[in-house]
Chain A
Amino acid sequence: MTKRFSLLGSTLVLLATFAAPSVNAQTETVLRVAMTAGDIPLTAGIPDQGFEGWRFVGYNLYDALVSWDLSRSDVIADIKPGLASSWAIDPANNRRWLFTLRRDVKFHDGSPLTAADIVWNFERFTKEGAPQFNARQFAFARAYLGNFEGIEKVDDFTVAITTKQPDSLLPYNMSFLMMVSPRRSEEVKNDADAFARNPSGTGPYRFSRMIPGERLELVRNADYWDKARIPKHDRLVLLPMPEASTRTASLLSGQVDWIEAPAPDAIPRLRSSRMQIVTNSYPHNWAYQLNFVDGPFADIRVRRAANHALNRADFNEMLGGIAMEGFANLPPSSNWFGNPVRYEFNQAKARALLREAGCMPCRVTFAISTSGSGQMQPLPMNELVKSQLEAVGFQVNLQVMDWNALLQMGREGREKHTDVHGINISRSLQDPFNGMFRFSWSQQASPRGSNWGHYSSPSMDALIDKALATFDEAQRLPLLRQVHEKMSEDAVMLWVVHDLNPRALSPRLRGFVQAQSWFQDLTPITVAPR
Chain B
Amino acid sequence: MFGYVVRRLLAAIPIALGVSMVCFALVYLAPGDPVQTLLPPDADAETVERLKRLYGLDRPLPIQYLEWLWRVMQGDFGKSIATGRPVLDEILRSLGNTVLLATLSVLIAFSVAFILGTIAGRRTGTWLDRIVTGIAVLGVSIPNYWLGIVLVIIFSVELMVLPASGMAGDTFDPTSWEHIQHVVLPVFTLSMIPVGIIARTTRSAVAEVMNQEFVVTLRANGLPEWRVLRHALKNALPPVLAVMGLQFGTLMGGSILVETVFSWPGSGFMLSKAILNRDVPVLQGTILVLAMIFVTVNLTVDLFQSSLDPRIRRG
Contact = CB atoms under 8 A, between A and B. Distances in A.
A295 to B, nearest CB: 21
B93 interface: yes
A212 B83 contact: yes
Contacts of A446: 45
A245 interface: yes
A525 interface: no
Q: State which size class the interface on B falls in.
A: 35 or more
A255 B94 contact: no
Interface in B57-101: 79, 82-86, 89-90, 93-94
Interface in A393-408: 401-405, 407-408
Q: Determine which residue in A212, A239, A434 has the highest number of CB atoms from chain B within 10 A of its CB, and name it.
A: A212
Given A211-B170, A243-B261, A403 B38 contact: no
B152 interface: yes
Given A243-B263, A402-B32, A193 B85 contact: yes
B156 interface: yes
B21 interface: no
A19 to B, nearest CB: 17
Given A139-B51, A240-B263, A42 B31 contact: no
Nearest to A37: B273
B149 interface: yes
A471 interface: no
Contact of A411 (B30, B41, B86): B41
Contacts of B302: none
A85 interface: no
Contact of B276 (A138, A404, A438): A404
Interface stretch (A2-10, A140-148, A279-287, A460-468): A140-148
A401 B32 CA distance: 10
A208 to B, nearest CB: 14
Interface in A412-455: 412, 425, 427, 434, 438, 446-450
Given A39-B82, A212-B93, A242-B260, A139 B43 contact: yes
A8 to B, nearest CB: 27
B37 interface: yes
Contacts of B235: none
Contacts of B263: 239-243, 246, 250
B164 A213 contact: no
Contacts of A192: 84
B104 to A, nearest CB: 19
A447 B42 contact: no
B254 interface: no
A211 B97 CA distance: 13
A139 B84 contact: no
A235 B170 CA distance: 18
Nearest to B48: A411
B165 A241 contact: yes
A142 B47 contact: yes
B61 to A, nearest CB: 17
B84 A136 contact: yes
Nearest to A254: B160
A176 to B, nearest CB: 9
B166 interface: yes
Q: Determine which residue in B94, B149, B165, B261 has the highest number of CB atoms from chain A within 10 A of its CB, and name it.
A: B165
Contact of B156 (A135, A252, A411): A252
B12 to A, nearest CB: 29
Contacts of A81: none
A211 B156 contact: no
Contacts of B35: 139
A170 interface: no
A359 interface: no
A110 interface: no
Nearest to A426: B41
A449 B44 contact: yes
B4 interface: no
B49 to A, nearest CB: 10
Nearest to A191: B84
A293 interface: no
A412 B43 CA distance: 10
Contacts of A245: 149, 152, 261
B41 A410 contact: yes
Given A193-B86, A408-B32, 20 more contacts: A38-B276, A48-B37, A138-B51, A139-B43, A143-B43, A192-B84, A212-B85, A213-B94, A242-B260, A246-B263, A253-B160, A255-B163, A404-B31, A405-B32, A408-B31, A408-B36, A411-B45, A411-B48, A446-B45, A447-B45
23 contacts: A42-B84, A142-B47, A143-B47, A146-B44, A212-B89, A212-B90, A240-B263, A243-B261, A245-B152, A249-B165, A250-B156, A250-B165, A253-B152, A253-B156, A403-B276, A407-B41, A408-B32, A408-B33, A427-B41, A447-B44, A448-B45, A448-B46, A450-B41
The 9 A-B pairs at the shortest CB distance, nearest first, are namely A447-B45, A404-B32, A249-B164, A405-B31, A253-B156, A135-B54, A450-B42, A213-B265, A405-B32
